[in-house]
Each structure stands twice: as structure tokens, then as C-alpha cells.
Amino acid sequence: MIHELGAGVTGYQLGQRVLVGAITPCGQCEPCLGGDTSQCGGLLGGWKLGNTIDGVQAEFVRIPFAQANLALVPDALSDEDVLLLADIASTGFAAAESGGIRLGDTVAVFAQGPIGLCATLGAALMGASEIIAVDSDPGRLKIAKEFGASMTLLADGDVVGEIRDLTNGRGVDVAIEALGIQETFENALRVLRPGGTLSSVGVYSGHLRIPLEGFAAGLGDHKIVTTLCPGGKQRMHRLMRLVAARRVDLTPLFTHVFPFEEIGRAYDLFGSRRDGVLKVAIRVS
């Protein structure tokens, strides 16, 4: 909710509910004007909140480049309806978008955490005919089915071989990697058909190796694309229209709610993955 407006911010009123993406581009620099808003001002430059400046887990926060980033929330939508659009959903959907999923494509999504689940939902929205969801947690695979997965696989066997079998040896058109570890990256690469695309939204904290045979020694016409969560108010408006049209319902991802005063407990639960936790909502009174 808007509590104060700077002199350069117009078209808004105090008390209005607004949604702000995790990425807050300026909207005026070369990357922004070229459509690369996440890279505003340079590499990763759009990611300010919680990265280069303090984030929004506070009672009040000043939004950078507010004119380009305040998206009014329609009265018909609740806070819970739109909250996850700011980061998790925008990232997961972007994985499907960056992968260039076409009508009738076969897609594999590796890892079904909140971002992976949104990638699964995004693949369905993009028109994939078959979506294979992979995870080590049966509970998350059950939710993946609800989010549009046509098949699910536990990540404790020969996942590559199983996906090859499921696709009659062809491989998938698009593989989405949503965890950020070597194993899932390699598996995503190894299940691609010739000319397929690996769309990565994982954050890699160590060395990442590309196996020669999985990459066809660089001759398989494969594409590897990466994505940082798209931001800006136009992106938020587009995603809210999906929610308003009832094409998307992200509220099942909220498994726990805590008051702001108990944010420490919320982080402990989320980090431990106890009690079937997916996403925790923090309410600021």
C-alpha cells in the first residue's frame, strides 16, 4: 500500500494497493529500452531489492524508480492472489517463455519447488502437449499434476533413461532446469532432442560443467538460455491479467502464514522443508 509519494511519481494516490516486482528496472537505460529490463544498467542491474539495497521484508520500503515499477492491484484481486507474481511466478513463467515453448511441444521440468511448479504451469499456458515433472518429493509431484504436468518422475532413478523411453528415444523439445545444481543441469541437457533448448533459471553457486556427449560436442544445435526474473510494472500488469481471468491460481503454493513478528520462525520452517512447506506468507499488520 502506498504511504508516501515522491515528487517525480505521478498517477498514483496514497492508500492504493500496488504490486512491485522483485526486479525494479529504471525503464530508460539501453538494456531497458532494448527489452532486457532485468539487466537494467548492466549485468544483473535490475535486481536491487534484497541484492544491492535492502529488501521489502520490512514495514516500510522505498521503491527505486517507482514510476516504472508500481503496478496498481485491481480491487477484485486479493493480496494472496498477486503476491507470488512479484518473483516466483514471474521467474517460473519466464523459464517457459525463454525456452520458446511452442504449441504441442514436449517439455521436462527439473525440480518442482515453487519456481519449478510455476515453470510447469507456464509450460501448460504456452501450449505444451506433454509436461514431464521431475522431483525427489512425491508431495511436490502431486502439486505438479495440479499445475499441468502430464507425467511425473521421482528423481531417484535413471531419470534420463525414463524420459528417453517416454519420448520414444526422441528427447524433449525444451528442458527447464529450476534447481541450480550440476546433476539437474546435466540431466536437462541429456534429455534434449537435437536442436532442443535448455532453459535455466537455477542459480549456480559452483563450477558448472557441460558433458561433451550430452552437448553432442557442440554440434547438436542445442540452445542454452538463462533468465533473471522479469520485472517492471508492465510485467506485473500482464501477470495480474492472467490471475483476473482465472487462468492462474497460485494460492495453493501458500502452505503457511506467519505474522511479521515471527519471521524468524518462518525462515526456519522454509529452510528445513518441514511440514510440506512450499511458500510462507508474512503478514505485516
Written in H, E and C, the secondary structure of 131-195 is EEEEECCHHHHHHHHHCCCCEEEECCCCHHHHHHHHCCCCCEEEEEECCCCHHHHHHHHHCEEEE
Q: Which of 233, 229, 187, 232 is nearest to 211 (CA)?
A: 187
Distance CA 282, CA 204 (A): 27
For residue range 124-174, list pLDDT tens digits in order.
Answer: 999 999 999 999 999 999 999 999 999 999 999 899 999 999 999 999 999
- Percent share of the chain, pLDDT over 90: 84
For residues 103-119, average pLDDT: 97
Tell me the average pLDDT of the chain. 95
Tell me which residue has cell 563450477: 207
Give the CATH fold of the 1-77+230-249 domain.
Quinone Oxidoreductase; Chain A, domain 1 (3.90.180)
For residues 215-238, average pLDDT: 94
What pLDDT does residue 115 have? 96
What pLDDT does residue 283 have? 87
What pLDDT does residue 152 have? 97
CATH number given to 89-226: 3.40.50.720
What pLDDT does residue 141 have? 97
Q: Parse the chain into domains and list their residue ranges.
A: 1-77+230-249, 89-226, 254-285
**Does the pLDDT of residue 285 top 80, yes or no?**
no
The CB-based long-range contact list for 276-279 (8 Å cut-off, 24+ gap) reads: 276/139, 278/113, 278/114, 278/117, 278/140, 278/143, 278/253, 278/254, 279/84, 279/88, 279/114, 279/253, 279/254, 279/255
Q: Sorting pLDDT into bands at 50, 70 and 90, what band is 213?
A: confident
For residue range 39-73, list pLDDT tens digits in order.
Answer: 999 999 999 999 999 988 888 999 999 999 999 99
What pLDDT does residue 217 have? 87
